[in-house]
Amino acid sequence: MAKKPNILFLGIDSLRRDRTSLYGYSKLTTPYMDKFFSKNSVVFNNMFSPSIPTTPGYASMLSGMDCFTTGVVALRHEGGYGDLVTLPMILRDNGYNTTCVNYGGFPGFDNYLNYEVTWGSYADGRSPKAESLNKTALPELERLAKEDKPFFLFLRHMDPHSPYLPPAPFERMFYSGNEYDPDNHSLDPVYAFEPFRDYFYSWFPPACTSQEYICAQYDGAIAYMDACIQQLFNKLDELGIADDTVVVLTSDHGETLYDHDCYFDHHSIYDNVLAVPFAIKASCLPEATQRFDQITQEKDIVPTLLSVLGIESDVKFDGRSMFDVIAGKAPEENEFYITEATWMRKHGWRTPEWKLMVALEPDFHYKPPVELYNLKSDPTEYHNLADELPDVVKKLKAKMEAHIAKREAETGRTDPMYTNLNWAGHGKPFESSDEAYHTLHIGSPDEAKKIQEIADKKKKEMEGK
């Protein structure tokens, strides 16, 4: 009996789809992945991670289930995973060795390996996250390749996750301006946002004034990671297993960068956070890479991958194989429920034309409780139409509530967005935006003060020139 294909799964954290050249970004951020997925691959152009942030994203990615089945909606998830059947469990039952690198705690893997994630800061210097991952992943890849069993190697790259501190020369690959220009005030509102300000001070260059520079660090981090991922692709060739290995690329969520006042993070349910890449390369696929526009979600990854592997499962997934959708054997799900419980607790409904966002409690950005956007005429979601089009709001709310009721009945579980009231780790929902603003905080005030003193000194030096 022929050995089943191996799986190398790139489950990248915080990779925003529209910042990859694989998806048409004007800056060449992913040249190696562009080339790698240029043949024997399928690329899905409209992949979404509907439940933000990391914890629900990976739960759905690795189970084929939605948030009602996983019970996971919050970054600070409580209550474990219950009897959730996961992809590594299914693969183990089909004779696979399974290893997870840098996502401990998710059930089902045989081996969990961590690597030294040097997050980096202004004081500590640049952060070679992907090289650190490779120091763990490459030897494990060699070990797994020697086994008689096929393997599933899951890698969680962290480079696009803040702080964005790619090593040289990537830090200036996409920026040639003056990040200390005193006439540039684009970072003024960022420094004024008290919940995150101390964190930003810890890794922004002191006295940096340019949001373009910070965004370029994100792009540089992706390019740096891409170059390191090429080492993994090379290793598949060196080991002689490239044709016997299915490679999957996706992400748990995107990134806000400078958009919507949600600075350099991944909270909110705007499309910049929902939209992620999804590509599969396998020798059994047609040589000419195919791109598909059908909407797909994280819950579709497991059934789609299993169909490539030719593995049948008794699990009734919430997702569907996208090959069945493309072939007309399963309906396309082009409207879907969206949630966020990171720094805000919101849910909503997305259609190809409309985006509804409803706050379940006041948020620390002082945003309106209901937001409505026309994704056709306003794809960047800056013109809130909720007050202008109450009938559309009502219609979309009805669809959302009907979906919630249906899934609650099917799972026997109340929507976890209603039950996880400790999503922020403070024991109760916020009663006002002021309360949220003055409660939620990341970063060290003492460290920020030291960096700010350096920034003040640098400003004085520049003023004296």
CA 462 to chain centre: 38
Residue 119 counted as domain residue: yes
**Residue 334 and residue 351 in contact, taking contact as beta carbons nearer than 8 Å:** yes
Residue 462 counted as domain residue: no
How many residues does the structure list for the chain?
465
Helix%, strand%, coil% for the chain, nearest 5:
35, 15, 45
Residue 428 counted as domain residue: yes
Domain CATH for 98: 3.40.720.10
Of 400, 352, 359, 399, the residue nearest 373 (C-alpha)? 352
Alpha-carbon gap, residue 421 to 414, rounded angstroms = 13
DSSP 8-state class, residue 123: T
**Residue 163 and residue 202 in contact, taking contact as beta carbons nearer than 8 Å:** yes
Residue 460 counted as domain residue: no
- Res 3: pLDDT: 81
Residue 456 counted as domain residue: no
Alpha-carbon gap, residue 385 to 209, rounded angstroms = 33
60, 62, 71, 245, 280 from 97: Cα distances, Å: 21, 16, 27, 13, 20
State how many domains the chain has.
1
For the whole model, what pTM was predicted? Answer: 0.95
- Res 456: pLDDT: 57
Specify which residues 92 forms β-bridges with. Answer: none
Structural domain that includes position 298? 6-449
Residue 69 counted as domain residue: yes
Neighbouring CB atoms inside 10 A of 230's CB total 15
The identity of residue 397, as a single letter, is K
Residue-level pLDDT, tens digit, the chain, 465 residues: 568 999 999 999 999 999 999 999 999 999 999 999 999 999 999 999 999 999 999 999 999 999 999 999 999 998 888 899 999 999 999 999 999 998 777 899 999 999 876 777 888 899 999 999 999 999 999 999 999 999 999 999 999 999 999 999 999 999 999 999 999 999 999 999 999 999 999 999 999 999 999 999 999 999 999 999 999 999 999 999 999 999 999 999 999 999 999 999 999 999 999 999 999 999 999 999 999 999 999 999 999 999 999 999 999 999 999 999 999 999 999 999 999 999 999 999 999 999 999 999 999 999 999 999 999 999 999 999 999 999 999 999 999 999 999 999 999 999 999 999 999 998 899 999 999 999 999 986 655 555 555 555 655 554 555
294: enclosing H helix or E strand: strand 290-297
**Residue 17 and residue 258 in contact, taking contact as beta carbons nearer than 8 Å:** no
Residue 68 counted as domain residue: yes
Residue 454 counted as domain residue: no
